[in-house]
Structure 1
Amino acid sequence: MKYLRVTVRPTERDIHPVHTLMTEREFVERVQTLHWNLADLDLPALFFLVEGDADRFAEALAATDAVESFGVTPIDDERFYCYSQGETTDVERALYTTFTRDGLVVLPPLTYDDAGGVTFDVVGEPDELRTALAGIPTGIDVDIERVGEYDTDRQSAAAALTERQREAVDAAKRLGYYAVPREATVADVAAELSCAHSTAAEHLQKAEARLVEAVL
């Protein structure tokens, strides 16, 4: 089973007004598409994780004619979820069709960059992958970031940790171990977990390693 990691980037034409919002506004730091429903390609539903200013983001969506409905739910002061449903453009429909053809699976998340690119993994048979790349509409560049056999243990962040590792990370977060500046030590985490300092350190180190592997 082969996979490609690709970045698609508009060069001569816009993909969609919401795409422009995601990549060119100073109040948006980072965006990932986590889930989507393309049952209606003319009016798809998308679910994003965004780092930025939730209020200004909501105002921008409300002012975008192509957006029919949306909702913004804060996670903390810097992050929020966003659901949106809206009309698609011709180039956006072409991209959806290209990468949702029979035999291909697009793996979330899709990550946006400041240059307007969207990076994601797509899995399928070699012929189908080549056909998809050939179907990229004009005015859109595609960079192949990685290609190979899909044989790495790519887990979701939630599933990557053991129960004890999740307890350690949860305790560390509550105590302020991951705050900037740091407000707790490994010894504090060990006391919270009622375990040895070395055990707490091992749980945190292994958890952090697994989380990095799951995300990257």
Structure 2
Amino acid sequence: MKRVAFEVTYPSEALHPLHRRLTRTTVASRMELLAWGPTDDVTTLSWFDAGPETVRELLAAVETASATDLVEADDGTYAFVRQTDYEFDDDLMAVVSASRAVFLPPVTFRGDGTATFEAVGEHGALSEFYGALGELTEVRIERVHDFRRGASPPTLTDRRREAVSAAAAVGYYDVPRTGTVADVAAELDCATSTAGELLRRAESTLVAEFVSRRGRGAATPRGPDRGSEDVRN
């Protein structure tokens, strides 16, 4: 079986109402759909890179939401939303429902109108899904790996990836160290305490991923494209 990461760019008329509102704001840039159910009438869990007030404004676009609970944490806001309809485009949901694949969290919606997600299935099923989705929207395959049973290694959020990149750029990881957390904060335009927290969480994630891969017998962490293959043909 294969595990495939897709990036899609929806036409404006096919955007989810919340995603459409996300593209029109400058105070939030990303939503991650972390948990959902097999039916429409469920409580979903999402994370936003924004504060609670902004998230409340964004969630107002979900007309079928009957209850909302927000928790400010982890450099953003978590949202538990009870809803009676996912409100996705009907044609898109038909393609998803007909696919012979399963979809892994998170589904990430970005302010530039793109969305990314991962699917697992046999080669033929994923190829069929890719073709059907491509008839509705612009879709790109980011990477393909063999699927392995067990917990997936953690991945960095965009903000934590930015923090690590900034730290490398200012010399924070040089030996001897030539940059400081304050330098990272300046690059990210955030408080020093926020930059420090982002780096600590990112470093914890990367170490956990390294240990996880070593535990599965890998000598070193494998790059994202090594061993990948296309499912389009």
TM range (shorter): 0.5 to 0.7
Quick check: 1:27 aligned with 2:27? yes
Matched, 1:141 2:138: yes
In structure 2, the partner of 1:192 is none
How many residue pairs were aligned? 174
* CA-CA distance at 1:61 after TM superposition: 2.3
TM-score by length of 1: 0.63
CA separation of 1:64 and 1:212: change in aligned 2, threshold 3 A: same
Asked if the contact 1:95–1:137 (Cα under 8 Å) also holds between the matched residues in 2, the reply is: no
Distance 2:77 2:203 in 1: 28
Match of 2:50? Answer: 52
Matched, 1:73 2:71: yes
SS at match of 1:52: coil
**Does residue 111 of the first structure (1) align with residue 108 of the second (2)?**
yes
Greater strand share, structure number: 1
Output aligned runs, 1:1-216, within 5 Å. 1-40=1-40, 43=41, 45-62=43-60, 64-75=62-73, 78-84=75-81, 85-89=83-87, 91=89, 93-101=90-98, 103-136=100-133, 138-151=135-148, 154-156=152-154, 180-181=191-192, 207-211=204-208
Unaligned runs of 5+ in 2: 156-180, 186-190, 213-223, 225-233
In the aligned structure 1, how far is the partner of 2:27 from the partner of 2:144? 33
Q: Which residue of 1 aligns with 2:220?
A: none
Q: Which whole-Å CA distance do the structure 1 matches of 2:130 and 2:61 have between them?
A: 34
Q: Considering only aligned residues, what root-mean-square deviation do their CA atoms show, in Å?
A: 3.8
**Structure 1 pair 140–13 and aligned structure 2 pair: CA distance change class (3 A):** farther
| Range moving further from structure 2, 80-89 or 113-122 | 80-89
Q: In 2 relative to 1, CA 16–70 (structure 1 residues): closer, same or farther, beyond 3 Å?
A: same
Compare CA radii of gyration and give the structure with the larger one: 1
Residues 6-40 of structure 1, C-alpha deviations (whole Å, 9 max, x = no match): 01221252322112123432121322111111313
Contact 1:72 1:82 in 2 (8 A): yes
Counterpart position of 2:158: none
Judge conservation of contact 1:99–1:106 (CA < 8 Å) in 2. no
- On the 8 A contact 1:17/1:66 being kept in 2, the answer is no
TM-score normalized with structure 2 length: 0.59
Runs of 5+ in structure 1 lacking a partner? Answer: 158-175, 186-203
Amino acid at match of 2:50: G
Between the aligned residues of both structures, percent identity stands at: 21
The more displaced of 127-136 and 78-87 is 78-87
Q: Hey, which bits of structure 1, 4+ residues long, moved more than 4 A?
A: 211-214
- Indicate conservation of the 8 Å contact 2:16/2:88, yes or no: no
Separation (CA, whole Å) in 2 of partners of 1:126 and 1:112: 26
3-state SS of paired residue (2:8)? strand
